[in-house]
Structure 1
Amino acid sequence: MSSISPARPAPAAAPSPASGAGSPPAYVYDLAELDAHVRAVRAALGDVELYYAVKANPDPELLRTLLPYVDGFEVASGGELAHVREHFPQVPVALGGPGKTDAELLSDVTRLHVESPGELRRLLASGRPADVLLRVNLDISIEGAALAMGGGATPFGMDPAGVDECVALLRSQEAVRLRGVHAHLASGLDAPRMLELAAVILDYARTLGVTEINLGGGMAVSYTDPSLRFDWQAYGRGLAALRRPGETLRIEPGRSLTVYCGRYVTHVIDVKRVHGELFAIVAGGTHHLRTPATKGHDQPVLVPRTGEPITIVGQLCTPKDVLARRVPIALKAGDRVEFTMAGAYAWNISHHDFLMHPRPTFHYLHRPEPS
């Protein structure tokens, strides 16, 4: 069943991208909405450290809007690190990822998330000083997750035996300092389930005698019901209750921070009926907005007027280029179509050059002035 967002008029200051035939599709980011959302998240977390996972959306304007509310950025490659350093050279950065190159291990970051004993040996051999967190993959049940990075045999992090091997390697030297553990086990979980995992991770970290614990991200986002939001208030209260004196807790959400501020705006090229089914072909498609194809869902779309159910597809020569199925919306050639929840894992994960169609334009609404 398609996800539908209630129609609401665009903000008064909004440009009018992709409103007619011949206009390229556009991404529209509402920076005021992002500012308000992240301000509320920051308030709910108290003194839990908040790092933004840049992989969700590295757009510099979004990062700039997030900057007053985050303690740092989490990156997963040398490219993301260079991008952050170019725009925000003084911001603390944590570097993760399961396949770090030697150059990435030698980069100057605030925290390095070590994924394996082999990775640690390469770091130690370099002689480079570093502050590290050991990424642990605990063998625990992770029910209801959209993606599981831990909880069993995966390429991410280490089982407790691997962590013990790393701890032994670190004892005989002083250049690489063990600061704590990192445990991003799953994505797509609600606050109660996230708190259950946090309790297990904290118990494990305490057996190692470390006091810095990165609990990762993975806060649930619902594309089928955009009004269903992660309960940041409950999560903040829960973390405060779990933490012991002297412990530093850190999280690194991505999608749940920026997804709501973005729209993908395009226009209808053609409407046709095939074997009884109605289709609208729009400019652009999943080479601009790959999220629905990647996650296997229908992208939420604004419905200004209802009509016969219609499937909205893009311009690509593949049956997988589907943005939303059987949406009850009346469409004709030239109509503008707005997809919501396009602020994370959208443009930046899409196969931009497939068929070499024009790229979208980018627009930013109501950027708040610095206080």
Structure 2
Amino acid sequence: MTELPSTVRHAIERAQASSADPIALFVHDLDALRQHVRAVMAALPPKVELYYAIKANSEAPILDALAPLVHGFEISSGGEIDRVVGCATRKPYVFSGPGKLDSDLRAALRHGVEAIHVESLNEIARLQHLAEAAGRVQAVLIRINPQLPAPLSSKLAMAGTPTPFGIDEPELALAVRQVDQASHLQLKGFHVHAMSHQQQVERHEQLLDLYLQRWPQWRALAANPQTVTHLNVGGGIGVNYLGPQQFDWQRLCTYLGQRLGADAQAPIVRFEPGRFISAFCGYYAIAVLDTKTSHGKHFVVCRGGTHQFRLPVAQGHDHPVIHLPRQPRSTSAATQPWTVVGQLCTPKDILSRDYPLQDVRIGDLLVLPLAGAYGYNISHVDFLCHPRPSLLFVQEGGACQ
């Protein structure tokens, strides 16, 4: 069983002791977040940058903890611009994603966005008009939807297939020409984000090889290739929710360092992971409200549910569970499979199926780890009008709200 950090466990216990109702809340361990990110950053080879994709978790304490450590942020909406502008430590940020509003683009221009990733020919024309009106020459990266071999796809493919993301590779020359001819746009590089939640390091190595093989061809399309310096390879690095073996980041960085070191014309490579950065620091704690058996299946009914922590349903997995008994118990009790559900009036409100728990009782607490990314912030929290969960941020020396 995964051990809870003492600061996290104490925060959960204090929250339950001070609450009139059984709890459902998130706890984020900021010290663990910083430790993880320092290790991630230390592995980066020369000419490689890391921007945190804040869509994974954009809460202010998370951003404030990360800002001194990462090279910058990646955002995808006007609301996320507000988040990074409000960060205690200002860092460069880039603006990606389809369907950008004119008001979003104006805000990005006004707040000094480092680069905008253009997703279509229409967006290039629109951004030129807005940049000209703002009197600003704006750096852009063209997002490419490249042709990819089938083995390099994933469950969440975002390139190499029909998608709303990026410009198909056969249209790239036209897109580059359109940017080159724009008086207030400057081509800085290219962006390719092919897959999400990929856990196989070998596939990432193959993907980077493919990008770097095509980089000279892409760069040569520009009128001034010497100013085209950056290749943003996106994020997409997965988290193993069901076992201890995680993505071998050190191996990927070592491989990429060797690959870039052998190429005098190599670009500056930029990663923009989200899940792989923040997932490990978060915990979802829920109190057991009821236990029951139905048609031979054992159910634990808990405070909260998928309207607060949608990740297991979104990912299609049964989440790991840490059991915190309310009182010490005999270890001789039998372990049996329990399906952990929430309070919603739908049979889809399932957090984990047939998870082995020992002597679970009403009033106990269950804690779901790996809840720091794409959990609360993608959830339908207003469904059934249950109260929103508390978000706690803890670090050595006390809580940070």
Give TM class, smaller chain: over 0.9
Q: Deviations over 1:303-332 (max 9, x none)?
A: 467621110000000111000011110311
SS of the residue aligned with 1:319? coil
2:34 corresponds in structure 1 to: 35
2:297 match: 277
Kept in 2, the 8 Å contact 1:215–1:249? The answer is yes
- Which residue number corresponds to residue 146 of structure 1? 155
C-alpha spacing 1:217/1:12, structure 2 compared with 1 (3 Å): closer
Identical residues among aligned pairs (%): 39
| Mapped pair 1:201 → 2:211 | yes
Contact 2:29 2:281 in 1 (8 A): yes
Unaligned runs of 5+ residues in structure 2 are 220-227, 325-330
In 2: Cα distance, 1:30 partner to 1:90 partner: 22
Deviation at 1:266, TM superposition (A): 1.0
Aligned twin of 2:328: none
Query: Residue 258 of structure 1 corresponds to which residue in structure 2?
Result: 278
CA–CA distance in structure 2, aligned partners of residues 88 and 117 of structure 1:
36
How far residue 215 of structure 1 moved from its aligned partner, in angstroms, is: 0.6
Question: Matches of 1:178 and 1:279 in 2, distance apart?
Answer: 56
User: How far apart in 1 are the matches of 2:339 and 2:68?
Assistant: 41
1:1-371 alignment runs, 5 A limit: 5-8=1-4, 10-11=6-7, 14-15=10-11, 16=13, 17-18=15-16, 22-47=21-46, 48-88=48-88, 90-106=90-106, 107-108=108-109, 109-126=113-130, 127=132, 128-143=136-151, 145-189=154-198, 190-209=200-219, 210-225=228-243, 227-243=244-260, 244-245=263-264, 247-303=267-323, 307-329=335-357, 330-366=359-395
- Alpha-carbon separation, structure 1, partners of 2:300 and 2:9: 29
Distance in 1 of aligned mates of 2:119 and 2:175 = 10
Q: Alignment length, in residue pairs?
A: 364
Q: Normalising to structure 1: TM-score of the pair?
A: 0.93
Q: Which amino acid aligns with 1:198?
A: L
TM-superposed deviation, 1:200: 1.1
Residues 364 and 133 of structure 1, relative CA distance in 2, 3 Å threshold:
same
What's the secondary structure of 1:351's corresponding residue?
coil
Letter of the 2:264 partner, please give it: P
Describe the superposition over 1:217-266 as per-residue Cα deviations: whole angstroms up to 9, x where unpaired: 011211111x1111111111111122233621100000011101100001
Q: Which runs of 5+ in 1 are unaligned?
A: none
1:90-143, CA deviations, whole angstroms, 9 ceiling, x for partnerless residues?
Answer: 310100011111122332211100001111011122325210000011111253
Aligned equivalents of 1:173 and 1:347: distance in 2? 41
The secondary structure found in structure 2 opposite 1:45 is coil
The runs of 4+ residues in structure 1 deviating greater than 6 Å are none
CA contact (8 A) 1:30 1:367 kept: no
Find the residue that maps to 2:291 and give its secondary structure. strand
Partner Cα separation in structure 2 for residue 363 and residue 310 of structure 1:
27
RMSD of aligned Cα (Å): 2.0
| Higher relative contact order structure (alpha carbons within 8 Å, sequence separation ≥ 6) | 1
Corresponding residue SS for 2:32: helix
Aligned equivalents of 1:6 and 1:160: distance in 2? 45
Q: TM-score, normalised by structure 2?
A: 0.86
Moved more, 210-219 or 124-133: 124-133
Q: Which has the larger radius of gyration?
A: 2
What is the Cα deviation at residue 272 of structure 1? 0.6
